[in-house]
Structure 1
Amino acid sequence: MVTEQIIAITIFLLVMLAIISEKVNRCVAALSGALLMILFNIIPMEVGLSHVDFNTIGVLIGMMLFVAVVKNSGLFEYIAIFTAKKSKGDPWKIMISFIIITALLSAVLDNVTTVLLIGPMTIVITSILELNPIPFLITQIIASNIGGTATLIGDPPNIMIGSAANLSFTDFLVNLGPVVVILLIVIIFCFKFIFKKNLIVDDAQKDNILNLDENKAIKDKPLLIKSIVIMVFILLGFSLHSIIQIDSSIVALAGATIMLFIGKQDIDEILASIEWSTILFFTGLFIIVGGLQEVGVINKLATALIGATEGHLVLTMLIVLWLSAIVSSFLDNIPFVATLIPLILTMQTQGVDVMPLWWAASLGACLGGNGTLIGASANIVLASVGQKHGHPITFKEYFKVGFPIMILSIIISTAYLLIIF
C-alpha cells in the first residue's frame, strides 16, 4: 500500500472506533475524520465536497422540514392512536403492524422518508403505553432496509444497479420480492424472541389506549388536509422520479417549500427542528469514504474480490454478496456499488452471464446496511429521532440485534441465489 492509502485507512478506522466507543459524538467524529482527510492531503476540499451525496442531504432536509410542519397538524398522533386501538393496545401487534407498514413504504419511497414518517408515530404510541421505544425503532430500521431491497426505487444502490444493467421496476420486484417477503417473515419471528420481555403492558395501559379518541388528536384540520394532499404528491414524485427525471431531493425540497408556504407555521421553529447534527454527520462520512475511494482503497477491495474467484461465476456471486454486506455495514454502500458496477460490466463484455452478480450486489449492499447503526441513512435518521425524544440508540445496543439479523438475512439470501441461479 502507498502512504496515502495507509493514512486514509487509519483515519477511517479511528473514526469508526470513536463512533463505536461512543466516547465521542458521532457527528464530531465524522467531521474530525473529514478534516483529517483534507489536512493530510488525502483528498482536496473541492474533491471531498464532490463526494457528498447532495441528493441524500436534500432528501433529509426536505423531509425533516415537511415532517416538522405536518407534525403540528396532529396527523401522527391520529395515526398512532388509530393503529394502537386497532391492535387492542397489544404491543406485539403494534410492532408487527409498524414493521409491515415500514417495509411496504420503503419499497415505494426513500427509506429516509419512511422512517421520518414512522418514527414520530412510534414515539407517540410507546409514550402512551409507557414502553421503551428503542425496540420498536430498531425493528423499523431493519424493516426499512429489507423493504427497500425489493424495488428499483427502494434504495439508492438499486437505482444505480438498475441504470447500469438496464433493469426495470418489475425486474427487481420479481427477482428480489420473494426473498424480501421470506426475510420479513423470518425477522418478525426473531423479534418476537428478542424483544418479548420489552413488550409487556398491564390492562390499565391497554385501557388507556382504547379510551383515547383519535379525532381529538387533530390540532389543525386545515393544515391536516393540506398535509395529506402534499404528501400524496410527494409519494407520487418519489415513485415516478426516475421516469420524470427529477431527483428525489428536488421532490422532497419542493414538498417542504410548499408546506412552509401554505402551512402558515412559525418558520424559525420549523427550521430549528432540523437535525443538523445528522446532516453534518452524513457530510463528514461522505468525505471520509470519498478519501478512501480517491486513493484507491475501495477499488483495490473490489478488484481483489473479482480476482480471488478466478472467474468462477457462483463463487464470484457469493463473494459479491457477502463482501457487499460486510462492507456496507461500515461504509456507505453507494461508492462501493459504484466501484463494483464497472467491474461487473467488464465481465459482461467478456461473455460472462453477470445477471446473478447484479442481484448479489443489490442484496448485499441493501441488506448489509442493517449490520450497524451507521450502515444506512435510515439507521442514523431514526436513531436521531429516538435521541431527540430522550431515547438514544447506542452503537452497541443496535449492533447486538442488527448484525446477527444482517448475517441471518445474508445466509437466507445465499440459499435463495443458489436455488435461483
Structure 2
Amino acid sequence: MTASMIVSSVIFVVALILIFTEKMNRGITAFAGAALMVGAGTAMGFYSQDQAIEAIDFNTLGLLFGMMALVALLEPTGFFEYLAIWAARFSKGQPVRLMVLLGTVTTVLSMFLDNVTTVVLIAPVTVLISEILGVNPVPYLMAEALLSNTGGVATLVGDPPNVVIASAAGFSFNDFLSNSLPIVLVAWFAALFLLRFLFRHDLMVTPANKDAVLQLDPNEALHDRKTTQRVLIVLGIAIFFFFVHHNLHIQPSLIAMGAAAVGLVWVQPDLHKMLQRIEWNVLIFFGALFAMV
C-alpha cells in the first residue's frame, strides 16, 4: 500500500466518521475533507485541482439548486398549509381518512419537492388540526415523516441521493420511476397499515370536533394566490419535461434550472430572502463529496 493510498484513505475515512457521527456540520466536514484531499493530492502527486473539478457532478448540483429555488418561491405563499387544511376538510374529520389524506399529500409533494421542507411546513398545521379534533398528533406526524421519505424515494428529483444514483447509472426520470414506484407503493401501504394498527386507540373523534374541522377555510392559509399559481404552472411544466427529457436529449438539471429561471422572472421575489431559503449546506456537501470521492 503506497503512501498516497494511505493518506487519501485516512482523509476519506475520518471525513465519513465525522459525517455519520454528526460531530461537525456535514457540509463543513465534506468541504474540509475535499480541501485536504486536493491539498494532499497536489503535494503528493495523486490528485490535482483539475481532477477535483472534473469529479464534481454539476448535473446533480444544477438539478438540486433548480428544484430548491422553486420550493423557495413556493414556501412563503402558504400553499403547503393550504393543502393540509384542504385534506382535513376533505376527510370530514374522520381520523383514519385524515391520516391517509395527509400522508398522500406529503408523499406526492415529496416526489417532486424537498421532503424536509414539506414536512416542516405541513407539520405545524397538522398539530393544529389534531388539537381541533382532540386527538394525538403523533400518528399523523409519524405518517408524514415516513411517507415523505417514501415519496422522496420514488422519483429522480425526490431526494438528493436519487439524483446522484440516476446520474451515475445513466437513468432517465422514467427509468428511475418505473424501478422504484412498485416498491414505494408497497412501502406506502405497509406504513399506513402499521400506523393504523399501532395507533388504533388514538384515532377516535367526537362529532363536535369533526364539525369544528369542517369550519376551517384553506383559502385563509394561502397568502399569495398569484405567486402560487405561477410557481405551480412552472413546476407542472418542469415535471412534464422530466417525463420526456430522455426523448428530447435534455439533462434534468437544464429543466430544473430553466424552470427556476422562469419562476424568478415571472414572480420577481425578494432575491435576498429567496436565496436564504436555499439549502446551501446540501449543495456544498454534495459538491465537496464529489471532489473528495
Q: What is the TM-score with the length of structure 1 in the denominator?
A: 0.55
User: Following TM superposition, by how much is the alpha carbon of 1:45 offset from its aligned partner in structure 2, in angstroms?
Assistant: 2.2
Letter in 1 for 2:56: V
- Cα deviation, 1:2-43, whole Å, max 9, x if unaligned, reads 433333332222122212332211111111111121122053
Counterpart in the other structure of 2:126: 126
Counterpart in the other structure of 1:35: 35
Q: 2:50 aligns with which of 25, 46, 49?
A: 46
Q: 1:148 aligns with which of 150, 155, 161?
A: 155
- Cα deviation, 1:91-113, whole Å, max 9, x if unaligned, reads 7655544544555567xxxx563
User: Following TM superposition, by how much is the alpha carbon of 1:263 offset from its aligned partner in structure 2, in angstroms?
Assistant: 0.9
Native 8 Å contact 2:150 2:187 kept in 1: no
**Equivalent residue runs for 1:176-187 within 5 Å:** 177-187=181-191
User: Following TM superposition, by how much is the alpha carbon of 1:284 offset from its aligned partner in structure 2, in angstroms?
Assistant: 1.5
State the identity as a percent: 27
- Cα deviation, 1:136-182, whole Å, max 9, x if unaligned, reads 56414530354238xxxx9444576566xxx9958973x76544433
Native 8 Å contact 2:154 2:177 kept in 1: no
User: Following TM superposition, by how much is the alpha carbon of 1:82 offset from its aligned partner in structure 2, in angstroms?
Assistant: 0.7
**Equivalent residue runs for 1:326-345 within 5 Å:** none
Higher relative CO (Cα under 8 Å, sequence separation at least 6) belongs to 2
Counterpart in the other structure of 1:10: 10
Seen in structure 2, the aligned counterparts of structure 1 residues 64 and 171 have a Cα distance that, compared at 3 Å, is closer
**Equivalent residue runs for 1:386-405 within 5 Å:** none
Counterpart in the other structure of 2:278: 274
In structure 1, what is the Cα distance between the partners aligned to 2:194 and 2:9?
35
In structure 2, what is the Cα distance between the partners aligned to 1:57 and 1:113?
15
Native 8 Å contact 2:166 2:176 kept in 1: no
Q: What is the TM-score with the length of structure 2 in the denominator?
A: 0.75
Letter in 2 for 1:250: L
User: Following TM superposition, by how much is the alpha carbon of 1:89 offset from its aligned partner in structure 2, in angstroms?
Assistant: 5.5
1:20 aligns to 2:20 (yes or no): yes
In structure 2, what is the Cα distance between the partners aligned to 1:286 and 1:181?
31
User: Following TM superposition, by how much is the alpha carbon of 1:53 offset from its aligned partner in structure 2, in angstroms?
Assistant: 1.7
In structure 2, what is the Cα distance between the partners aligned to 1:148 and 1:246?
17
1:237 aligns to 2:244 (yes or no): no
1:85 aligns to 2:89 (yes or no): yes
2:52 match: secondary structure: helix
In structure 1, what is the Cα distance between the partners aligned to 2:12 and 2:144?
27
2:77 match: secondary structure: coil
Counterpart in the other structure of 1:315: none
Counterpart in the other structure of 1:367: none
1:269 match: secondary structure: helix
Letter in 2 for 1:269: K
In structure 1, what is the Cα distance between the partners aligned to 2:237 and 2:177?
24
In structure 1, what is the Cα distance between the partners aligned to 2:86 and 2:141?
21
- Cα deviation, 1:344-376, whole Å, max 9, x if unaligned, reads xxxxxxxxxxxxxxxxxxxxxxxxxxxxxxxxx
RMSD: 3.7
User: Following TM superposition, by how much is the alpha carbon of 1:68 offset from its aligned partner in structure 2, in angstroms?
Assistant: 1.8
User: Following TM superposition, by how much is the alpha carbon of 1:185 offset from its aligned partner in structure 2, in angstroms?
Assistant: 2.8
